[in-house]
Chain A
């Protein structure tokens, strides 16, 4: 059989995101969105009774302590996001050394460091990722997200698995600007994008 050359991962939003300004044209954009491309993603699920050992091994190998509550912890471009009891999503930024040979390098590194402690599955092509910011980003998200993002209730580092406009999402707050990163299953990228464009239009949406 002929060898199949795999093409590099395609952007989940490339066919949807029209760069520039949408909706209200006056004044500064209320919502700013950019796709986070080239992330390496992997789910890490603790084996029975091994969560504490997993946390120790993760700290020793990567310098990151996985949270036991809905939080994101990170070091040098590698983040671990709590996504359920004994479950985390590992996220390596584009260009992270672990992914030099490809996005699945993250899962390989985790599998090596956490052997016997966790089940690791590469998810790099399974999600679409957006970074959302702007002074009205909370108002736009509130149209679909039944989660209180007020700074009193949700702070930088906080993470949540929930749904937004009836689409399952995983999100976390990056900084107090506020900036949020939001992941959807890749197959829902189109539905989510259309909802976002419509919901942010009245505030002015800038697509970067």
Chain B
């Protein structure tokens, strides 16, 4: 598998480290200790539960032996075909709630 880093160009996947599911979102609330409460279930989902789709998925990778940037790689887990590679910071800032949070800080 070869990954085209948006900063460095195409490199072998041995230069990258897989860092997890890019689709999960940290809940905005502080959480709740009581199982069954919606906040509890949201945090349970965020911390522990992962989908394992046989197909297209968004993943975090880091170009750890290159520019060290965090990336969002959209690929087919069954075929290893890569559809897109984005800079993770840019992808995160493009999400509305994080833009608001960043602007407020």
Mask for A54-74, Cβ within 8 A of B = 1, else 0?
Answer: 000000000000000110000
Mask for B38-77, Cβ within 8 A of A = 1, else 0?
Answer: 0000000000000000000000000001111100000000
With a CB–CB cut-off of 8 A, which chain A residues contact B14?
Answer: 146, 163
Min distance, Cβ B104 to any Cβ of chain A, angstroms: 14
A162 and B15 in contact (CB under 8 A), knowing A83-B67, A84-B67, A168-B65? yes
With a CB–CB cut-off of 8 A, which chain A residues contact B65?
Answer: 161-163, 168
Chain A: interface residue total (CB-CB under 8 A): 13
Q: Which of B5-13, B21-29, B78-86 contacts A (4 or more CB under 8 A)?
A: B5-13
With a CB–CB cut-off of 8 A, which chain B residues contact A160?
Answer: 8, 66
Min distance, Cβ A195 to any Cβ of chain B, angstroms: 16
Min distance, Cβ B97 to any Cβ of chain A, angstroms: 19
With a CB–CB cut-off of 8 A, which chain A residues contact B89?
Answer: 85
Contact assessment for B66 and A162 in the assembled complex, using a CB-CB cutoff below 8 Å = yes
A161 and B67 in contact (CB under 8 A), knowing A70-B7, A84-B7, A85-B87? yes
With a CB–CB cut-off of 8 A, which chain A residues contact B68?
Answer: 84, 87, 161
Chain B interface category by residue count: 10 to 19
Contact assessment for B11 and A146 in the assembled complex, using a CB-CB cutoff below 8 Å = yes
For the complex, what is the distance from the CA of A160 to the CA of B65, rounded to whole Å?
A: 10
The SS class assigned to the A binding surface is strand
Q: Which residue of B lies closest to A68 (CB)?
A: B7
For the complex, what is the distance from the CA of A161 to the CA of B69, rounded to whole Å?
A: 12
Contact assessment for A163 and B8 in the assembled complex, using a CB-CB cutoff below 8 Å = no
Q: Which residue of A lies closest to B105 (CB)?
A: A48
For the complex, what is the distance from the CA of A146 to the CA of B16, rounded to whole Å?
A: 13
Mask for A161-181, Cβ within 8 A of B = 1, else 0?
Answer: 111000010000000000000
For the complex, what is the distance from the CA of A154 to the CA of B87, rounded to whole Å?
A: 23
Mask for A82-100, Cβ within 8 A of B = 1, else 0?
Answer: 0111010000000000000
Most buried by B among A83, A85, A87, A146: A85
Contact assessment for A85 and B11 in the assembled complex, using a CB-CB cutoff below 8 Å = no
For the complex, what is the distance from the CA of A170 to the CA of B9, rounded to whole Å?
A: 15
Contact assessment for B12 and A84 in the assembled complex, using a CB-CB cutoff below 8 Å = no
For the complex, what is the distance from the CA of A70 to the CA of B66, rounded to whole Å?
A: 11
Binding site for A on B (CB under 8 A): 7-9, 11-12, 14-15, 65-69, 87, 89
Given contacts A87-B67, A87-B68, 11 further A-B contacts (CB under 8 A): A70-B7, A83-B67, A84-B7, A84-B67, A85-B7, A85-B69, A146-B12, A146-B14, A160-B66, A161-B8, A168-B65
Binding site for B on A (CB under 8 A): 69-70, 83-85, 87, 146-147, 160-163, 168
The 5 listed contacts between A and B (C-beta, < 8 Å) are A84-B67, A85-B67, A85-B69, A160-B66, A161-B66
Q: Give 7 nearest A-B pairs by CB, closest first.
A: A84-B67, A163-B65, A161-B66, A146-B12, A84-B68, A85-B69, A85-B7
